[in-house]
Structure formats: C-alpha cells, structure tokens
Amino acid sequence: MLAAGLAACGVVSADSAPVAAPPPALDAAPPAQRGEQTAVFAGGCFWGVESVFEHVKGVRKVWSGYAGGDAATADYEQVSSGRTGHAESVKIVYDPAKVSYGKLLQVFFSVAADPTQLNRQGPDVGPQYRSAIFYANDEQKRIATAYIAQLDQAHVFRAPIATQVVPLQAFYMAEAYHQDFARLHPDSPYIVINDAPKVRHLKELFPSDYRPEESVVGVQIH
C-alpha cells in the first residue's frame, strides 16, 4: 500500500520563495462560546497541505481525504483517474478562539498551495489536484470570496487566483496509509523535497502561529 501511496504525488521542489499573503480584511468574529469548527481545503497532494496545518497553533485534528464527488468513488484509485469530481483535500478541525478561519486561509494561500495553478499543483496534473475551498456555511463563503478578491486586487500573486470556492457536500477520509504521512515518513523523498520546505516556510512567515511537530490526526470524522 505504501508503494501505491508514493505514486499519489509527484516530486517537485517547494523550496522557492513563498508568497507572504497579507491578513484578510474580512475575518470571522471571535466566538461567543468555546467549541470546534471545521475547514476543508484542497491544494494539490494532500500530504503537503495536511503537513502544513498540523503545525498551525489552534488546529486540533487534520485528515487527508476527498471532497467534491460521491461516496461511491471516494477512494484513491478512482480519484486518481481525475474523473470522479473529487479533489485531494484536508479536513481541519480547529479552535476558533486560538486561530481564525481567515488565518487558516492566509496560511493556505501563503505556503500550502499555489493558488494560481488551474487543475494542477507542480507536476501533479488533473482536476483531482485542483485548488479549492469547500465552505461549510455562508460565513466561510463570504470570508473566502472576499479574501480572494482582496488578494487579486492587490496583485499579491503573479497571476489571478484559480482557487474554487464551492459548497462542501461531504468529506471522505482517505486510506490509512495517507494519514499523517509526512510525520510518519519524514525521510520519504517526496516529503524531503516537497513538503518539508512548506513547513519551513510556515515557520518563517508565521512564527507566532507555528508549533513544533506533533500528530493532530484524528481517528474518526466528527
């Protein structure tokens, strides 16, 4: 299974200079009471996106999985065909009192993915590697849409943002060998070349939001 998993993502250096996106002008208000909230993002191979958010303070759990398609096709082999409608995605459960939805978006656009690439990330080509924000409610939609407009108007990136903002219908957890892959396989060539630089960029750009390595992967989807 591990050999099959290694074919999930191409190998490309991510150690180029990251783009430091500014904070969102519109963000969620501090919560009135304690509780957890959920965000679902897609940005190419889910190993790298998962690895980044495992190191963000306020994030409690992260899973790799599939979003955008049906339950019947939510498995790696079918998703890899690019014909299921799914995108490799991550589900993030976070404490909104410690990290806002807007901050998660800022991290996503700055270090987790290249939002200007359409239906690909680096060498990984196909709609299953598209960049997408799957919003769970109207507030997330409003914040994500406003933030993309803000970044485009400021010409933060070299090209217009291609990230989709679409409603979350369902999230399906990926196979066990994909979960927490970067932490469990730090010497994997893919992780060393492609994902470790993203985590370094997170630490460099967001030192107050960075936490050292630890597993925050849950065993169940809540």
pLDDT tens-place string over residues 29-77: 989 888 999 999 999 999 999 999 999 999 999 999 999 999 999 999 9
Give the residue ranges of the chain where pLDDT is below 50: 1-8, 10-15, 219-222
For residue 116, give the 3-state DSSP assignment: coil
For residue 16, give the 3-state DSSP assignment: coil
Supply the pLDDT for residue 1: 32
CB 133 within 8 A of CB 41: yes
Supply the pLDDT for residue 124: 85
Q: 35 Cβ partners below 8 Å, 6+ apart?
A: 96
Active site residue 9: no
Query: What is the residue extent of each domain of the chain?
Result: 35-205
Spatial CA neighbour of 115 closest among 50, 42, 16, 56: 42
Cα gap 38→153, rounded to integer Å: 28
Does the pTM exceed 0.85? yes
Supply the pLDDT for residue 4: 38
DSSP letter (8 states) at residue 126: S
**What strands lie across the sheet with 37-43, from one edge to the other?**
164-167, 131-135, 37-43, 87-94, 59-67, 171-173
Task: Identify the active-site residue in 8, 21, 45, 99.
Answer: 45
Cα 175 to chain centroid, rounded: 17
Supply the pLDDT for residue 16: 57
- Name the packing angle between helices 196-205 and 46-54 (round to 10°): 40
Supply the pLDDT for residue 33: 85
- What is the rounded radius of gyration, in angstroms, for the C-alpha atoms of the chain? 16
CATH architecture, domain 35-205: 2-Layer Sandwich (3.30)
Supply the pLDDT for residue 194: 87
Q: What is the largest CA-CA distance in the chain?
A: 47
Bridge partners (DSSP) of residue 89 are: 42, 65
DSSP letter (8 states) at residue 172: E
Supply the pLDDT for residue 7: 44
